Amino acid sequence: MTGLSICNLSYSYGTRRALDDVSFDVGAGQFAALLGPNGAGKSTLFSLLTRLFAAPDGRIEIDGHDLARAPRAALARIGVVFQQPTLDLDLSVMRNLTYFAALHGLSGRAARSRIEAALERLGMAERAHERVRDLNGGHRRRTEIARCLIHSPSVLLLDEPTVGLDAASRKAITDHVHDLSRDIGLTVLWATHLTDEIKDDDRLLILHRGRLLQNGFAGDLRGPLPLQEHFLMRTAEQR
């Protein structure tokens, strides 16, 4: 299938089971929130999706490509924002993005027009020539999101991308990524432990202690309860 498909995925660090038989699909153009408390297994799942670790059990398909059998084709289809920032602070926004474009074999006018389009989409066009060190945390995160669009991926993976940001920056970034999914049909997997980043018509995947507890639309799953309350109840039941 296009989008993202995960089937019977498990992973252990020695004897510690971090993911236990996790399966879900995110359809093309869907925004899926992967919600879990600390230690749920979100970062482990991202490490498997980006092939930092190889998955010994289970299957991952990205935009129709099996990650184990066709890793180059599968990885070329994803854009990733890791939990830890990875920009060069002493280069400008434009230089950071130009470097990334070159890693993907893009240069000259083609690179420039994709970079400009990505910065425009994230509301960062007027900051293109500022040094990253001089940007606030929210603008740095937007730069990273713009960067992961340059090679025209179809699936975006974001691991707690709003950590450490103030409320206004968190909302701006959450809204930008929802817009990307809606406007250009990107499939998004957004890991978070913050329920206010999730909208009722988002796909919600609740991960707890390595197991997928719930999978459905957020509004349907929470029913009449605020999502925060629903989430705390579901995870408390499993202690």
Ligand X SMILES: Nc1ncnc2c1ncn2[C@@H]1O[C@H](COP(=O)(O)OP(=O)(O)OP(=O)(O)O)[C@@H](O)[C@H]1O
In the complex with ligand X, the residue whose CB is nearer, 40 or 155, is 40
3-state secondary structure 172-226: HHHHHHHHHHHHHCCEEEEEECCHHHCCCCCEEEEEECCEEEEEEEHHHHHCCCC
Residue with tokens 């992961």: 148
Q: Which is nearer to ligand X, 14 or 223 (CB)?
A: 14
Q: Which helix (H) or strand (E) holds 121?
A: helix 108-121
| Cβ nearer to ligand X, comparing 150 with 227 | 227
Q: How far is the CB of 129 from ligand X (least distance, A)?
A: 34
Instruction: Quote the least distance from Cβ 30 to ligand X, whole Å.
Output: 21
Whose Cβ is closer to ligand X: residue 15's or residue 108's?
15
DSSP structural state of residue 40: S
Parallel/antiparallel/unpaired status of strands 155-159 and 203-208? unpaired
For the bound state, the minimum distance from the C-beta of residue 90 to ligand X, rounded and expressed in Å, comes to 28
Where does this chain bind ligand X (CB under 6 A)?
13, 16, 18, 36, 38-44, 193
Task: Name the residue among 49, 46, 28, 27 with its Cα closest to residue 36.
Answer: 46
Q: State the nearest-atom distance from the C-beta of 221 to ligand X, in Å.
A: 19
What span, in angstroms and rounded, lies between the C-alpha atoms of 142 and 146? 6
Least distance in angstroms from the C-beta of 69 to ligand X: 25
37 or 219, CB closer to ligand X? 37
**Residue 59's beta-bridge partner residues?**
7
Torsion of CA 196, 197, 198, 204, to 10 degrees: -110
The smaller minimum CB distance to ligand X, of residues 13 and 109, is found at 13
In the complex, what is the shortest distance from the CB of residue 216 to ligand X, in angstroms, rounded to a whole number? 20
